[in-house]
């Protein structure tokens, strides 16, 4: 299972407050949970770095996958490592006729 935005620093703080961080660590250690690193704000490169540092601070490993709502222009991140990227806008509906 993949949880896309858990590594957002605010989410990590809330999970830690609720005492769930140790359970998440165990799921990751047993390869039952994929937690991509999260570029949660603009600029995405800075928020991604902050997300990674926060995750390590809560005892979670850095991931080979990235979740981002915005394009990331960091050459060290290959597009194949982006697990999911939201569209900034949805395409206009197609009319009939």
pLDDT, averaged per 10 consecutive residues of the chain (97 residues), comes to 87 94 94 89 86 93 82 57 49 51
Domain boundaries, the chain: 9-85
Q: Which pLDDT belongs to residue 71?
A: 66
Is-above-0.75 flag for pTM? no
Q: Which of 4, 1, 87, 75 is nearest to 39 (CA)?
A: 4
State the Cα–Cα distance between residues 35 and 90, nearest whole angstrom: 26
Backbone angles phi, psi at 37, to 5 degrees: -70, 150
Expressed in angstroms, the distance from the first to the final Cα of the chain is 42
> Residue 25 belongs to what H/E stretch?
helix 21-29
The predicted pLDDT at position 87 comes to 44
Q: What token pair was written down for 4? A: 């896309």
Phi, psi of 35 (to 5 degrees): -120, 95
The per-type count for the chain, helices as H runs and strands as E runs, is: 3, 3
Distance of CA 41 to the CA centre of its chain: 11
Q: What is the pLDDT of residue 58?
A: 93
């Amino acid at each position: 299972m993949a949880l896309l935005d858990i590594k957002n620093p605010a989410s990590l703080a809330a999970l830690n407050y609720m005492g769930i961080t140790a359970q998440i660590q165990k799921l990751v250690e047993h390869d039952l949970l994929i937690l991509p690193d999260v570029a949660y704000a603009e600029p995405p490169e800075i928020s991604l770095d902050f997300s990674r540092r926060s995750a390590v601070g809560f005892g979670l490993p850095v991931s080979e996958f990235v979740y981002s709502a915005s394009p990331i222009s960091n050459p060290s991140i290959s597009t194949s490592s982006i697990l999911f990227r939201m569209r900034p806008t949805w395409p206009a509906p197609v009319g009939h006729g």
